[in-house]
Amino acid sequence: MKIGYSFWGFLGDGVTDTPDGGRSHRRTLTDGLIGAGHTVVFLQQDRDRAEAHQPVTGPYIWDQGLPDIDALFLEWRWPIPGRNDTPCTAPGHACDLHRQQQLLDHYTHHQGIPTLLWDKDQHLAPADPLRRIKHLTVCEPALHPRHGATSLLFPVADYTLHTADPEALAARPRRWPLVYVGNQYGRDPAFTTFFAPPARHLDHVVAGKWTDTGRWPHVNFIGRVPFTQGIELHQQAHATVMLAPTRYATSGQYTQRIFESVLAGCVPITPARYRAAATVIPGELHAYDGAHVADITRTLISMPTGDRVRLLERCIRRLDPFRLSRQLHTIGQVFDQHQGADNGKLTHHTTRNR
């Protein structure tokens, strides 16, 4: 199959001033599709080249026209006032939304091309007419997706899980008891309950875009950091907390932070009320409040190396739902149901992780 892939972000490290979480898994997914024998054409701007000035090498094709494709894959974009809902000539305009509409009009509405709409931030309205298009499937990266959507999780390469070494991870020296890498967007209630209280007593750092922090003067906010520095913070920390907006917590949507942290040996403490927590995180890491987060973190700091190895082994095994091969199977099922099994099924495949 020839898949047209629309995303507004980066394949590589990108720029620091961006909320693009897809950098941890987008290239993994693309390489998996290509490795399974499919052609992938990127249909938005090459931001690695245009903004980061670091073109990503590999078997990647970019086309800002309207090439012939067999299927359309959209990482869903939504209106952001003053940024992508302005005229194309306006200062600071981003054309992701206009381009997405052009792709929908041409491929989905006019040509009837099978379309997968990956609503990664859960912004598509429940009553949006797109949900009624027979050859379009809405996916969410949640274990319990809403509004009849299909579950398509953020992928981690099978090979990465197979080769993860819990002994080496457990042996790493750790600078920080507690870290959080991520942006504020809708996380204030979870942050207030689960991170701010232990931050009064534990050495910590919070990296990301947090613009309204006055209620937490004791928290060490350091602002956005380069993508690789976020990985390094996890490598230097005993634990992080799976903070999430309510819509993520109620649908069991775990961001890429879960495998970024685990694969760095940073233990992912999660609010016990987070849906499907038992599926992806060992029970002793489920916290009921901030005091519980502090207790778990202190236990981790003093934990014998052998016990930490065994805990990390269990954390790695719990990442199984995020395997790339599982996500490729889901994508294959979505497109096959619209075109028929003779048009090139997407098969299980393993690849490297980014």
pLDDT of residue 19: 87
Q: How many domains, in total, are found in the chain? A: 2
Instruction: Give yes or no: residues 148 and 197 share one domain.
Output: no
**267-271 vs 204-207, strand pairing mode:** unpaired
pLDDT digits (tens, 9 = 90+) for 111-157: 999 999 999 999 999 999 999 999 999 999 999 999 999 999 999 99
On the question of pLDDT at 8 being above 50, the answer is: yes
Instruction: Give yes or no: residues 70 and 202 share one domain.
Output: no
Q: What is the pTM of this model?
A: 0.93
Query: Residue 250's domain spans which residues?
Result: 161-320
Instruction: Give yes or no: residues 146 and 110 share one domain.
Output: yes
Instruction: Give yes or no: residues 182 and 51 share one domain.
Output: no
What lies within 8 Å, CB to CB, of 71 at 6+ separation is 1, 2, 3, 4, 113, 114, 115, 116, 335, 338, 339
Instruction: Give yes or no: residues 236 and 294 share one domain.
Output: yes
Q: What is the mean pLDDT of residues 225-247?
A: 97
For the ranges 77-86, 136-145, 294-303, 311-320, which has the lowest average pLDDT? Answer: 77-86
**pLDDT bracket for residue 354 (50, 70, 90):** very low
Q: Is residue 257 situated within a structural domain?
A: yes
Taking a C-beta distance cutoff of 8 angstroms, is the pair 36, 74 a contact? no
Please give the mean pLDDT across all residues of the chain.
Answer: 94
Burial of 162 (0-12, 13-18, 19+ CB in 10 A): exposed
Instruction: Give yes or no: residues 165 and 313 share one domain.
Output: yes
Q: Two tokens at 170? A: 């457990």
**pLDDT bracket for residue 340 (50, 70, 90):** low
* Longest CA span, the chain: 62
Q: What is the mean pLDDT of residues 246-269?
A: 97
**Of 103 and 351, the one with more pLDDT:** 103
On the question of pLDDT at 341 being above 80, the answer is: no
Q: Is residue 264 situated within a structural domain?
A: yes
Domain CATH number, residue 134: 3.40.50
What lies within 8 Å, CB to CB, of 335 at 6+ separation is 1, 71, 114, 116, 343, 346
Instruction: Give yes or no: residues 234 and 138 share one domain.
Output: no
**pLDDT bracket for residue 351 (50, 70, 90):** very low
Q: Two tokens at 338? A: 């619209």
pLDDT of residue 347: 45
Instruction: Give yes or no: residues 12 and 51 share one domain.
Output: yes
On the question of pLDDT at 344 being above 50, the answer is: no
Spatial separation of the C-alpha atoms in residues 94 and 109, rounded to whole Å: 23
pLDDT of residue 108: 98
Q: What is the mean pLDDT of residues 317-331?
A: 98
Q: Residue 284 to residues 86, 125, 278: CA-CA distances in angstroms? A: 48, 36, 10
Chain-centroid distance, C-alpha 30: 14
